[in-house]
Amino acid sequence: MLLSALAFPATSVWSQGTATSTANEPTPNRGWEGLARVLDMVTPSVDTLDPPSGTEINNRISGLLNRDRAQQALDEITEREAQLVNSGAPGADVQLMFQKARALAQLGQRNEARSVYNEMTIRFPELAEPWNNLGVLYISQGSLDLARQAFQTAISNNPAYPAARSNLADLQLLLALRDYQGAAKLGSAKARKRAQDLEAFIGSLN
């Protein structure tokens, strides 16, 4: 399957550093949108909680997201965040941050999700997963060059990370499609045919 979905069904993502207005976002291309749905989205494979937080709570939230109950998951995340603040516990719950970004993405709040992922890349730059999911979000919004940078950073952080490598490979298809379409607009009949064939191929992967 193309671009394993960062656990979209089981894990999903989409977002950026500072939330921008919808009017400033690039217009998504339907082909990119479809491909983004099958990208590999995952949850952090490492335990970086400091201090350790409620594993059962995070597991329950993850289960809600996997069943597409994003609003309920977000409500529980908000409640859990308040508990951590009131307890005065130091550090950050990386898993909870990741789940929050997933929930926001599932609810269509992509700018907010992107903001959470960007915060994670700043606070925990060594993690590959936030970069991978950020790349999927960029693709869904048509920002292919930013997506490539995100996937490459994920691979640099973890060369043995299959989801990011698979996603980057699939992204190459979208980049090729973009270039063929650009050449077709300039009058290349061959490029137009290649673009049509590649678009059909990408569609068959969704």
DSSP string, 76-134: HHHHHHHHHHHHT--S--HHHHHHHHHHHHHTT-HHHHHHHHHHHHHH-TT-SHHHHHH
Per-residue pLDDT of the chain (206 residues; tens, 9 = 90+): 444 333 322 333 322 332 333 334 444 454 555 555 656 665 555 444 444 446 778 888 888 888 889 999 999 999 888 888 777 665 667 888 889 999 999 999 999 999 999 999 999 889 999 999 999 999 988 899 999 999 999 999 999 999 999 999 999 999 999 999 999 999 999 999 999 999 999 888 86
Work out the angle between the directed axes of helices 55-66 and 70-87 (0-180°, nearest 10): 160
pLDDT of residue 30: 46
Residue listed under structure tokens 């992204």: 171
∠ CA 91-92-94, rounded to 5°: 145
Q: Among positive and negative, which fits the CA dihedral 46, 49, 50, 54?
A: negative
pLDDT of residue 2: 47
Residue closest to 144 by CA, chosen among 175, 179, 105: 175
pLDDT of residue 11: 34
Residue listed under structure tokens 């698979």: 166
Contacts of 80 (CB under 8 A, 6+ apart): 53, 54, 57, 61, 93, 96
What is the Cα–Cα distance from 49 to 52, expressed in whole angstroms? Answer: 5
Q: Which domains are present in the chain?
A: 22-205 (1.25.40.10)
